[in-house]
Structures are given as C-alpha cells and as structure tokens.
C-alpha cells in the first residue's frame, strides 16, 4: 500500500523550517524510530551537507534519523532505509540527478511496495506523473520530464491566487490552464502553502487549514476543503 506525505512547502510565514508540518510528519511516521534516506539533489545554492544538517535537525527532534544519499552509494542508502524524504529546491535539478544516479525505478518500486515517502515542494512534484506543473526555472535539462508517477494527478506547489497590480504576465491559474489545454486527461491540484496531501492506499486526504484549487480541462476551477479525499473527485 502506498503511503506518501506531500507538502506544498517547507517554510510557512510565522513558522521555522517544516514547523507547520511537524504534527503531520509525526502522525505519518509514528513513534517508532525510522532511518530515512534523504535526497538533497534539489538544493542548488547550498551544499548537500548543509541541506542534510538542516533537515536532520527537524527529523532528529521527532526521533528519526536522516542519512543523505550523497554520503555514499545512493542506491544502497535507499535500500537500507525505512523511508524516503525528498527535499525542495529546483525540480529540474532534482529530476536530472535522480535519473543520473538511476534511482527512479528503485524509488518507485519501494514506495509501491509500502516504503513511506515524504516530499516537499520539488519533492512533491517528483511524486507526480511528470514535473510539468512545477514553478521552477529549467536551469538544467533532465533526461525526461517523466517523474515517479506515484499519484495520478499533478501538483502545483506554492499555489498563488494573486495577480500583483501592474504585473502583465500570466497568473498561476493561466499557466495551469495552458498545461491542461495540452494535457486534457490530467487533473492539477493547486496546493497552497501550509497544505499537505496524505496518500494512504486509495485515499488522498487534504491536510492543513487552507483550501486547495482543482483544475481540469473544460471545467471551471473550484475549491475543496481540508479533510477532503481527493480520490473522490476523479470518479
């Protein structure tokens, strides 16, 4: 049974790093000690060592251990871990590295067989069928845009409704509508900051205090409330 925790973001206004999601993370992993393989590849402007230390400070406080895949053989570290965590940053760099280290099939197989997966921002994008609904600039070129395909819909993390005064570029909603014109069979979830999707088997529950926005080609976008099982909208 698949078990994923997909966060829109790592830092929310008024909270320290991942603080807004601590309860969800603890509920997700439980009280038993877990050794978690951390994938830091989305980090670009800071070292993998620094990224690991930042994430470990949070997970250690909850009773879990972090071992970043850059510390040795990435495949072996993932194989020997109880769970997988994928950090945010640049989604294109993340996917490029996952392909280069030949981790895609390994991660997919482990998660499909029950290994817990937590991702935030780019890490949530990685769980989607593709990374085509990321907000990031394509600073590198991955082998493919195809991602883990662990869920059947696309996520747009950090979803914003705002259209700043005087700004003449496309809104986030308009960009998603462009995607849907060319990918008419897909749903896109606009996941606002502070929101999380918990996937447990066939259930996909929206967590947090904010609504999420649902997009589908030729349908008017609409909001769903926290606590909604997203799987029911695909019927």
DSSP code per residue over 192-203: -TT-EEEEETTE
Tokens of 157: 């993390």
Query: 121 catalytic, yes or no?
Result: yes
CATH no. for residue 221? 3.40.50.880
Query: 158 catalytic, yes or no?
Result: yes
pLDDT average, residue stretch 79-89? 98
Distance between CA atoms of residues 184 and 192, nearest Å: 23
**Residues of the domain holding 74:** 3-233
pLDDT band at residue 79 using 50, 70 and 90 as cut-offs: very high
Q: Which of 10, 81, 121, 195 is catalytic?
A: 121
Query: 48 catalytic, yes or no?
Result: no
3-47 per-position pLDDT tens digit = 999 999 999 888 999 999 999 999 999 999 999 999 999 999 999
149 Cβ neighbours under 8 A, 6+ residues apart = 108, 128, 129
> Count of domains in the chain?
1
Judge contact between 150 and 2, C-beta under 8 A.
Answer: yes
Q: Which of 8, 68, 70, 136 is catalytic?
A: 136
Q: Which of 48, 65, 158, 163 is catalytic?
A: 158
Half-sphere exposure of 89 (CA within 13 A, CB side): 21
36-59 per-position pLDDT tens digit = 999 999 999 999 999 999 999 999
Distance between CA atoms of residues 65 and 224, nearest Å: 35
Is the pLDDT at 84 greater than 80? The verdict is: yes
pLDDT given for residue 153 in this prediction: 97
């Amino acid at each position: 049974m698949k078990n994923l925790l997909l966060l829109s973001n790592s830092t929310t206004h008024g909270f320290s790093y991942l603080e807004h999601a601590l309860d969800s993370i603890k509920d997700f992993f439980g009280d038993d000690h877990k050794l978690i393989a951390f994938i830091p590849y989305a980090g670009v402007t800071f070292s993998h060592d620094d990224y690991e230390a930042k994430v470990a400070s949070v997970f250690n406080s909850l009773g879990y251990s972090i071992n970043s895949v850059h510390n040795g053989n990435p495949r072996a570290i993932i194989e020997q871990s109880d769970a997988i965590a994928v950090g945010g940053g640049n989604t294109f760099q993340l996917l490029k590295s996952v392909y280069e280290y030949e981790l895609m099939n390994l991660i997919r197989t482990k998660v499909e067989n029950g290994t817990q997966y937590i991702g935030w921002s780019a890490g949530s994008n990685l769980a989607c069928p593709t990374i085509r609904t990321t907000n990031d600039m394509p600073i590198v070129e991955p082998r493919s845009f195809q991602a883990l395909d662990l869920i059947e819909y696309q996520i747009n993390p950090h979803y914003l409704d705002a259209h700043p005064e005087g700004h003449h570029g496309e809104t986030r909603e308009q960009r998603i509508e462009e995607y849907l014109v060319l990918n008419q069979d897909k749903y896109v979830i606009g996941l606002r900051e502070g929101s999380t999707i918990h996937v447990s088997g066939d259930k996909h529950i929206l967590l947090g205090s904010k609504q999420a926005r649902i997009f589908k080609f030729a349908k008017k976008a609409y909001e769903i409330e926290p606590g909604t099982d997203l799987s029911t909208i695909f019927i």
